[in-house]
Amino acid sequence: MEKRIGVYVCHCGFNIAGYLDVEKVAEFAGKLDSVVISRHYSYMCSDPGQDLIKQDIKELGLTHVLVCSCSPTMHLRTFREACQDAGLNPFHCDMATIRELCSWVHSHDPQLATEKAMRLVAEGVRRVSYSNPLEIKFAPVNPNTLIVGAGIAGIQAALEIAGSEHKVYLVEREPSIGGHMAQLDKTFPYLESAAEMLNPRMAEVASSEYIELMPYSEVVEVSGYIGNFHVKVKKKARFVDETKCNGCGECWEKCPVEVDSEFDLGIRKRKAIYTPFTGAVPNIPVIDRESCTHFQNGGCSTCEEVCPTKAIDFNQEDEIVELEIGAIVVSTGYDVFDPTPIYQYGYKRFDNVITSLEFERMVNNNDGNIVLKDGSTPQSVAIVHCVGSRDQNYHEYCSRVCCMYSLKYSQLIKEKTGAEVYQMYIDMRCFGKNQEEFYQQASEAGVRFIRGKVGQVTDITQEDEEKGKLIVVCEDSLLGSMIRVPVDLVILSVAMEPRADTDEVARVFLLGRTADGFFLERHPKLDPVGTMIDGVYAVGCCQGPKDIPDTVSQAIGAGARALALISKGKVEMEAATAYVDEEICSGCGYCEAVCAYSAVEVDPRTRIAKVNEAICKGCGACAVNCPSKAMQIKNFGPKQMLDMIDTATREYAGLAS
């Protein structure tokens, strides 16, 4: 059949037309083989732009369409849908990227940009002319959702989905759900108790018939694709039979071994058999085999002896549970920055230099008393902002919450001790609802604000009044002078940072990461909860520092995505998959070895490779590895590629001169 190709050059406002000669490009395209119409227009993606294409397909009987504009990740779908609306197979539509590859990168050389655009357009015309009509297939969606990480984000997402009566597996690495929020005392800016907000939600998770809680577990393997993930979860051995334990607490009361509580950051002790905090969900203890004497030398079996329900089982082993899942929400949270390497701030060197999270635990325990290491009440406190944040040596980013929680601390300290409070800040970032007002309140309450980065915290005194104090040395940038502030307690407002094992988690879920190490969202503006992997969403602080309201918003958003997927019940499959020329295939298995999606298998009987089209993403790894060219990608054949290269690199008379 005769090929009738339409070429459409987009101005993209000034983004393209401002840097290269769109008219010339269109004129050039019009002269290429098989091109029957070539146009340029201000915004091809707008409705009138799309209408141009539709009209030409109908009136000029176009068989192929090439749109020369932005990247295909941006708009290929838009234009293919337009073509489909006009009755053309969508795979006869393709794009040439003249914005990202020409106007943007060669903005200082319009002639070069124009010439390159012409070559890309010529190449694109060849590419699209080889295209075959493909059929879009759909795969069913498994209605179960997996949520990884049960902090406030994971809990919220789980409740959203369970609320519409769909099954959720909520996996949590720790023995209890709750996350960092469970460690917090009050929340800003309304000073509500974190526990009062969190506990009902934890209880709701525990009692929901749609949520299967998998505490003390980790996801070890994910395969499959959107709607049809296959997930392996390692349930770590608790050494306590969950079906028997009634959470009476006999075991941990009688356990003779005491170690530092991780939950309380060492401020309190816990036993070798323990729940991380009172009110843990599930309220079932675990045995820490590292510190348990039974596992060290077999000496002690106290817990087993005292347990009234005979729930202790020292022989329990880690177990792998396999799940079939439609959508995955990753909400693995953050770590707090360890300020020990910032030597000059004296953390770990001085008793009364503590981190903000330690302060939270201190206020939350001790009946809420704020005390120094020696048990006395501080007379003066310095809160040092941006410790590890906005600092090129540690994290360049702003952790978003420190200004506000520091203000909250000053309120609490003033209220409970009457101490003088100093805030050493760079910029006060109180940008949320009612936050500026909270800042005002603190100022009015007499909190001292000193704008400047702290140089050091020292115990070397220069004057009598400094004796026995910690001296915070700081440049007051508003006064333009160095000042020394003697205080009893220094609180370091430490940064939020990616989890130490983010790498591993990223690998398991195939997530991308930003330069800062947080998980990468699909689009910072328009898809802040999606990831590059369809069907996997990342929410909360694993995606970047944020406060509780923003985390909850995102979690609800991810819930929406999962629900939308489930209610639609099907997903579109990649159409441009790999296929095998069975005549040529020698069954060498190179393709099988390189397939990242496990989509290719060599039939052991016939020794011919087979492609599972449902899984294949059309990445092409198999095709380039195939020694006999038996494996190919639909619409990306070798002849086509060579022709494209040839076209892009050949001589054209008077190109862009």
Partner 1 sequence: MQDQAGIKASPSKPDVLIVGAGIAGMQAALEVADSGHQAYLLERLPSVGGHMLQFDKTFPTLDCASCIGTPKMSQVGSHKKIELLVCSEVEEVSGHAGDFRVRIRRNPTYVDISQCTGCGECEKVCPVSVPSEWDCGLADRKAAFRVFPQAVPNVYTIDKRGHPPCRAACPAGVNAQGYIALISAGKFREALEVLRRTMPFAGVCGRVCTHPCELECERGKVDKPIAIRALKRFMADRVLEEGTEKPEPITSTKEEKVAIIGSGPSGIACAYDLVREGYPVTVFEAAPEPGGLLRYGIPEYRLPNRVVDEEIGYVQALGVEIKTSTPVTSLEEIFNQGYQAIFLATGAAGSQKMGIPGEDSEGVFQALDFLRKVNSGDKVKLGTKVAVVGGGNAAIDTTRAAKRLGAREVALVYRRSRAEMPAAPEEIEAAEAENIEINILSAPVSVLTENGRVTGIQCIRMALGEPDASGRRRPIQIEGSEFEIEVDSVIMAIGQTVDKTKLPDKLEYTGWGTLAVDSVTLETNVDGVFAAGDVVSGPADVISVVAAGKQAAISIDRYLRGADMTEGRTETVERVREVDKTGVEKKPRQSMPVLEPDKRQGFAEVELGFDEEMAITEAKRCLNCGVCSECLACVSACDRNAIHHDMKVQHRDLEVGAIIVTTGYDVLDPTPIYQYGYKRFDNVLTSFELERLLNSTGPTEGQILLKDGSTPKSAVIIHCVGSRDKNYHEYCSRVCCMYGLKHAHQIREKTGAQVYQMYIDMRTYGKGYEEFYKRISDEGINFIRGKVAQVTDVAQTDEEKGKLIVVCEDTLLESMIRIPADMVILNVAMEPRPDAGEIAKVFGLQQDTDGFFSERHYKLDPIGTQTEGIFIAGCCQGPKDIQDSVAQAIGAAAKALAIVARGEVGTVEVEEVEAVAVGGD
Amino acid at 22: V
d(CA 596, CA 612) in angstroms, rounded, equals 13
Provide the b/e sequence for 231-251 (b: ≥16 CB within 10 Å).
Answer: bebbbbbbbbeeeebeeeebb
Tokens 């995955």 belong to: 328
Kindly compute the dihedral angle of the four CA atoms of residues 204, 207, 209, 211, in this order, to the nearest 10 degrees: 60
Q: Which of residues 494-553 bind partner 1 (CB under 8 A)?
A: 514-516, 518, 521, 523-529, 543-544, 548-550, 552-553
Nearer to partner 1, 226 or 529 (CB): 529
Nearer to partner 1, 60 or 564 (CB): 564
Judged by CB under 8 A, the stretch of 31-39, 393-401, 592-600, 634-642 that binds partner 1 is 393-401
Q: How many residues bind partner 1 (CB under 8 A)?
A: 83
CB 331, CB 153: distance < 8 Å: yes
Check the CA dihedral 232-238-240-245 and report its sign. Answer: negative
Q: Output phi, psi for 97, to 5 deg.
A: -85, 90
CB of 327 to partner 1, least distance (A): 12
CB of 644 to partner 1, least distance (A): 26
d(CA 421, CA 426) in angstroms, rounded, equals 16
Name the pairing type of β-strands 327-330 and 536-538.
Answer: parallel
Nearer to partner 1, 478 or 482 (CB): 478
Q: Which of residues 183-242 bind partner 1 (CB under 8 A)?
A: 187, 190, 192, 197, 201
Joined together, the tokens standing for residue 40 give: 């340029």
Supply angle C-alpha 335, 510, 331, rounded to 5. 35
Q: Output phi, psi for 418, to 5 deg.
A: 70, 10
Nearer to partner 1, 318 or 396 (CB): 396
Q: In the beta sheet, which residues pair with residue 94?
A: 66
Joined together, the tokens standing for residue 36 give: 């029957």
Q: Which of residues 430-469 bind partner 1 (CB under 8 A)?
A: 430-437, 440, 451
Which of 87, 480, 604, 654 touches partner 1 (CB under 8 A)? Answer: 480
CB of 233 to partner 1, least distance (A): 25
CB 172, CB 150: distance < 8 Å: yes
Nearer to partner 1, 74 or 134 (CB): 74
Per-residue CA distances from 242 to 54, 56, 201, 247 (Å): 63, 67, 21, 9
d(CA 577, CA 599) in angstroms, rounded, equals 10
d(CA 425, CA 451) in angstroms, rounded, equals 5
Nearer to partner 1, 64 or 186 (CB): 186
Q: Which positions from 34 to 73 touch partner 1 by CB under 8 A, shown as an x/- string?
A: --------xx-xxxx-x-------------------x---
Nearest partner of 382 among 445, 451, 476, 470, judged by Cα: 470
CB of 96 to partner 1, least distance (A): 16
Amino acid at 416: K
Nearer to partner 1, 330 or 600 (CB): 330
CB of 553 to partner 1, least distance (A): 5
Could you say whether residue 390 binds partner 1 (CB under 8 A)?
yes
d(CA 631, CA 68) in angstroms, rounded, equals 30
CB 286, CB 230: distance < 8 Å: no
CB of 544 to partner 1, least distance (A): 4
Q: Output phi, psi for 109, to 5 deg.
A: -135, 80
Q: How many CA atoms lie within 13 A of 308 on its CB side?
A: 5
Q: Which of residues 274-333 bind partner 1 (CB under 8 A)?
A: none
CB of 339 to partner 1, least distance (A): 19
CB of 229 to partner 1, least distance (A): 19
Judged by CB under 8 A, the stretch of 123-131, 132-140, 465-473, 560-568 that binds partner 1 is 560-568
CB of 43 to partner 1, least distance (A): 6
Which of 568, 589, 603, 642 touches partner 1 (CB under 8 A)? Answer: 568
Which of 14, 58, 468, 532 touches partner 1 (CB under 8 A)? Answer: 14
Which of 24, 54, 116, 400 touches partner 1 (CB under 8 A)? Answer: 400
Kindly compute the dihedral angle of the four CA atoms of residues 244, 246, 249, 254, in this order, to the nearest 10 degrees: -30
Check the CA dihedral 40-114-17-85 and report its sign. Answer: positive
CB of 166 to partner 1, least distance (A): 9
Nearer to partner 1, 329 or 578 (CB): 329
Which of 563, 622, 631, 644 touches partner 1 (CB under 8 A)? Answer: 563
The three-class DSSP label of residue 587 is coil
Q: Which of residues 141-170 bind partner 1 (CB under 8 A)?
A: 156, 160, 163-165
CB of 285 to partner 1, least distance (A): 28
Which of 5, 9, 12, 257 touches partner 1 (CB under 8 A)? Answer: 12
Which of 561, 595, 616, 647 touches partner 1 (CB under 8 A)? Answer: 561
Q: Which of residues 91-150 bind partner 1 (CB under 8 A)?
A: none
d(CA 181, CA 151) in angstroms, rounded, equals 7
CB of 527 to partner 1, least distance (A): 8
CB of 150 to partner 1, least distance (A): 15
Nearer to partner 1, 1 or 526 (CB): 526
Which of 8, 169, 274, 397 touches partner 1 (CB under 8 A)? Answer: 397
Judged by CB under 8 A, the stretch of 338-346, 395-403, 453-461, 629-637 that binds partner 1 is 395-403
CB of 100 to partner 1, least distance (A): 10
Cβ-Cβ contacts under 8 Å for 73 (sequence gap 6 or more): none
Which of 113, 428, 450, 489 touches partner 1 (CB under 8 A)? Answer: 428
d(CA 265, CA 261) in angstroms, rounded, equals 6
